[in-house]
Homo-oligomer: A and B are copies of this chain.
Amino acid sequence: MRTTVRKIAEEAGVSPSTVSRVLSGRGAHLISPATRERILAIAEQLEYTPNTAARSLVTGRTGLVALWMAQIYTRFHARVIQLVEETLVYHGYDVLIRHIGFAHTQHRWNIGSVDGILAYECSLYVDSIWKRLHRRMVPVVSMGAYYNKNVDHVGVDLHTAGVQAVRHLSDVGCRRIAYLVNAESNVAGDARRDAYDTVAQERGLLREYIVAADQSRSASSDAVQQYLREYGTPDGIFCHNDEMAIGAYHGLRQLGVHVPDEVALVGCDGIEDTEYLDVPLSTICQPLEEMCQVGWEMLCQRMSNPEREVHSVILQPRLLVRASSMR
């Protein structure tokens, strides 16, 4: 039987109210120092821990924030989780993690009893999702891609960065630049594909898509190898993300194709792994810390003021040129 407020009250010879005021912190200043100390001492000794269910029931808040993630797979995702966890725990919240997958796995999208949701790279553009969130008045901030003008959002301008990246490939002399993408996420409006298309048109290049089955390294490696055998060798590849870039690099090596002399490579995300290949990969670095920080602040705002108008913040990533695209 766990220690309760009532128990402590009896022990200290005061009422539960007084104990609650001290222990919840909300009315501690109203209580005389002597009583407060006594209560704190007893609580400590009896190893009191508040019953959060009871507390939530009356306050209406749970102290829980959900972190929704479309995928939990790469080192990049681990970093997102770690950063979010750090931020939220620092501010007194617990983090409930949910791997919700993509738009077709909607059975996973049920909202629990949380004070707010940080949705990282989730398909909130799907009407049935955000409308339900909206009806329930659940504070939610969408992070990363998949912008929806009805939901608070902090993202990264991957279009601009993508344009820079593809132009960069062109600038170092590439004339056949392919875009490596996975079959699944080839949704309309993907910023990186748009960037690729834009520059391809701007520089009068033919568009070549290398489509991998999924975002894994092996699928990317396979796709690249098959593509080269079938269509010959492009001289540059812009990759949807770093995982796929590493896969591409691997595939090229398998074929004995030199990076960057024969094929220049640029990835996206800025994960640490790209630095530890024999030929370090150029990439677009995402400002993750900043994104978490801003995401949290927006969620706070929304939680304290549900009627607030919808905001959107777009951060600037930066192109990091390494050996894989230097000539």
Contact = CB atoms under 8 A, between A and B. Distances in A.
Contacts of A275: 217-218
A13 to B, nearest CB: 25
Interface in A43-57: 47, 49, 51-57
A113 B51 CA distance: 7
B85 A112 contact: no
Which among A51, A72, A85, A221 has the highest number of chain B CB atoms within 10 Å? A72
A272 B217 CA distance: 9
Nearest to A110: B49
Contacts of A272: 216-217
Contacts of A108: 89
B72 A81 contact: yes
A89 to B, nearest CB: 7
A276 interface: yes
A256 to B, nearest CB: 12
A178 interface: no
Interface in A96-127: 96-99, 108, 111-113
A111 to B, nearest CB: 7
In the complex, the count of this chain's copies comes to: 2
Given A81-B78, A217-B276, A278-B278, A57 B49 contact: no
A38 interface: no
A56 B62 CA distance: 12
B98 A112 contact: no
A95 to B, nearest CB: 5
Contacts of A64: 96
A29 interface: no
Given A82-B99, A85-B98, A113 B53 contact: yes
Given A253-B278, A273-B273, 13 more contacts: A47-B132, A49-B113, A52-B112, A72-B82, A73-B79, A74-B78, A78-B81, A94-B98, A94-B112, A96-B97, A217-B272, A217-B275, A278-B278
